[in-house]
Amino acid sequence: QSVLTQPPSVSGAPGQRVTISCTGSSSNIGAHYDVHWYQQLPGTAPKLLLYGNNNRPSGVPDRFSGSRSGSSASLAITGLQAEDESDYYCQSYDISLNGWVFGGGTKLTVL
């Protein structure tokens, strides 16, 4: 069981907007540690998608955005495209574990 909780799956039609939630606790997200998001395409290594809650590395489309409130965070993807079909993971630092924690991952299906 992951320290950060994500829905196992979400889906949406091309062009639609989807959101993926990430729920933590007072020892990680609630302790104001940054949330980062990773995208893992099938058979490949994870790639940094968003850092510092809502910042996009160079090359990531502005269709991807993030937010954080209290002990939770969310990833929003607008204008869904077929190539967005992937697994998405949230991550934060946990002060009680003295280490990083991941969400269990969410599989996005583009219908």
Partner 1 sequence: VQLVESGGGLVQPGRSLRLSCTVSAFNSGDYGLSWVRQAPGKGLEWVAFIKTKSLGGTTEYAPSVKGRFTLSSDDSESIAYLQMNSLKTEDTAIYYCTAVSPHLGFDFWGQGTLVTVSS
Q: Which residues bind partner 1 (CB under 8 A)?
A: 2, 34, 36, 38, 40, 45-48, 51-52, 57, 89, 91, 97-105
CB of 75 to partner 1, least distance (A): 13
24 or 103: CB nearest partner 1: 103
50 or 110: CB nearest partner 1: 50
13 or 59: CB nearest partner 1: 59
Rg (CA), the chain: 13
Residues in CB range of 36: below 8 A, 6 or more apart: 48, 50, 51, 52, 90, 91, 92
CB of 15 to partner 1, least distance (A): 28
CB of 50 to partner 1, least distance (A): 9
Q: Are 103 and 4 in contact (CB under 8 A)?
A: yes
CA–CA separation, 67 and 85 (whole Å): 21
CB of 14 to partner 1, least distance (A): 26
**Strand duo 9-12 + 64-69: pairing:** unpaired
